[in-house]
Structure 1
């Protein structure tokens, strides 16, 4: 409250809360990018993050010097999350405006600020979202529609405008939201989005059509995005698996497997089919350095319990010289094929004679 005396704080403790909150959110965001993410580990990080945010809540406005210093020293996604979260938490209009400008200047799509909006409860951010979602400023519209996406909130008739927004980033996010909300009334707009000049808009239009059950319309675009092996490849691959008949998906993946450029997609996609009888085949793929990462991800999707076993390394050189030659100094999470085989045999998932 304006005019209220600042609370007495222990500066070193509040500084640590600020630094840890930024670190834990950045760690959380990175962990969620894993394929597939370990949600148990993420939940543990969330608890530590929330404990540090509680410390900042208790400190109140007195925490601001430490929040500002954290961002000035290291203006990355975790620190932007912290700044945006604190500004919203304190209902500080000037600081919120600063956070918006910091987000506008960020090089990663304002992930931290979008994350802060997702972390707060919908009722807390509702006034901001109402102001932003129809604003002349495209970046504010992007924040508004991203907040709706993060909370799965339907902006009702406004969404029909957002899926046709002149700004490509707003449009792509709106198209994605339409699919997440299963807005069948926007099917025509989604179909029109397949002809969008922007790749990501076409992709999210296709993804949303698949979510609405129109995979026949979306199939070509989804397959194209998956085969491109770009940033949306895994989402597109999963959408193909979900939307198309099993026999069609398997035939398509068989084609992908024949090319060195797309073979890893076929191996990863095999894990999305839900067929646990392919473990012996996956073990065989794990012996190929080019396919090992994809095979490991497929293993974790089919057998989440494998996370509890010591089956992986982030130092490929520990597997074999061939892996060291393939990965060089790159850090990659690869499985030990022999350990996976022994684990599978012990659990009677594969026979001892399998590869």
Structure 2
């Protein structure tokens, strides 16, 4: 037998399993953006497992692609869209990309996230796709994908859009306008402020919110933050009345806007304290954590008495102060497992418990907080007990969970750094960025 022409048989169920498992690991990493237990080490581990399954699909070519596409068409989840898009980008196969886009068009709200993530993962390789899909003659789903990828990748990718950003801000499709606002927030185009200001009065809520985020990011805070706060409060009301999948999507949007509002609000601003009373408790805690002003600590301690968010409040306290309430002995012992636990409704409170968050002993934390040395840091942006600088941000990127790493990355990206840190990028790209930041820090210290 001529070994040079021998081809191993393809075991279709095994190859399909590769596609399903690769999608599963992407989904786990995607959900980690809000997980208090998922840091860079675990992300690296899951990324290696995902890559192993992707390698299996690549080795199985040309049979790997149709089996992966079949899995996408069967399950129609964002993870499967991610896998198929990466396979299509292996050699930038336009026919395969068109096949993925055809499935995504059927359920864009659910699938677009995976498609965008995959295109962002491949970096400069997606430039051609950005240009093609952003063509004025392309359909709205393709344009949204191109704009969202450009927004993730930054100014260099925005430059590959087929038309000026102002063109997309005038689109009759609100999804395109909202995506264009996201891209506008990372651009250095001097003429974008005027159309973004006009978008603050758009009839579509996401367009108004994303325009406000973009304008505030570009330095136009006054009117933009007022609009964004109004959008956050309106979105909180919409989420309260939503159910099922729509509640999940609404919650994702509310979380994003709340974090952006917190990061764009100057520490010490009086409006920040007033906002906590207007937001739902969980969103208010998220705002307090992302804002980083320790003047919010009394509010956080107060929420430790709210059984709906007590565990989350304990974790926010830790994230702000750097103090582990379990190590300090400030947690309530967990009750013995009940035979009825399996029948409990899956609420956010239950998810907090499943994430390993302990129930704080409010009285003990309150007693400590009454004389806390942390209050001297009022009016400053603090994370894990320290004012944020490059060294502290780099340490957090190495060791903290994903929500904290996101806040640290925002600080790095907003400090005029030439290194762009994305905590949702491949682990190898994140490691390269952290190494570059480490070299920058060393050079700064040496100087």
Alignment TM class, shorter chain as reference: 0.7 to 0.9
Of 330-339 and 15-24, the range deviating more from structure 2: 330-339
Q: Superposition pairs for residues 72-221 of structure 1, below 5 Å?
A: 72-106=73-107, 107-108=109-110, 110-123=112-125, 125-136=126-137, 137-152=139-154, 153-155=157-159, 158-221=164-227
Q: 1:96 to 1:241 in 2, by over 3 A?
A: closer
Cα distance between partner residues in 2 of 1:105 and 1:219: 35
Question: C-alpha displacement at 1:78, in angstroms?
Answer: 1.3
Q: Is the 8 A contact 2:82 2:118 kept in 1?
A: yes
State the Cα RMSD in Å. 4.0
> Which runs of no fewer than 5 residues in structure 1 stay unpaired?
none
So what's the TM-score if we normalise by structure 1? 0.78
Offset, 1:25:
1.1
CA distance in 2, matches of 1:297, 1:145: 35
Whole-Å Cα distance in 2 between the matches of residues 240 and 285 of structure 1? Answer: 21
CA spacing shift, 1:111–1:289, aligned 2, 3 Å: same
1:200 Cα shift? 0.6
Distance 1:341 1:276, change over 3 A: farther
What do residues 28-75 of structure 1 show as CA deviations (whole Å, max 9, x unaligned)?
222225489745433432232223223323333231243134224322
Report the alpha carbon displacement of residue 301 of structure 1 after superposing the two structures with TM.
3.5
Query: Cα–Cα, structure 1 residues 18 and 94, in superposed 2: closer, same or farther, change >3 Å?
Result: same
| More contact order relative to length (CA 8 Å, sep ≥ 6) | 2
Provide the C-alpha distance between the structure 2 equivalents of 1:40 and 1:312, rounded to a whole number of angstroms: 27
Alignment deviations for residues 190-215 of structure 1 (CA, whole Å, 9 cap, x no partner) = 11110111111111110011101111
Once the two structures are superposed, the pairs formed by residues 258-273 of structure 1 within 5 Å of their partners are 258=277, 262-273=280-291
Secondary structure in 2 aligned to 1:239?
helix
Corresponding residue for 2:360? 337
Partner of residue 236, structure 1: 257
Gaps of 5+ in 2: 240-249, 375-447
The number of aligned residues is 335
CA distance in 2, matches of 1:94, 1:236: 36
Distance in 2 of aligned mates of 1:49 and 1:305: 34
Provide, for residues 168-200 of structure 1, a one-character-per-residue CA deviation record: whole Å limited to 9, x for no partner.
111111111111234443111111110111111
Decide whether the 8 Å contact of 1:311 with 1:339 is kept in 2.
no
Contact 1:36–1:297 (Cα < 8 Å) also in 2: no
Distance, in Å, in 1 between the alignment partners of 2:316 and 2:336 is 19
Deviations 1:108-162 (A, max 9, x none): 1522222221222322x22222211114222221122122123222236522212
What does residue 427 of structure 2 align with? none
| Cα deviations by residue, 1:57-111 (Å, 9 ceiling, x for unpaired) | 3333231243134224322111122222212224333222111110101241522
Q: Structure 1 pair 128/271, CA: closer, same or farther in 2 (3 Å)?
A: closer
Residue pair 1:21, 1:82 contacting (<8 A) in 2 also? yes
Offset of residue 283 of structure 1:
4.1
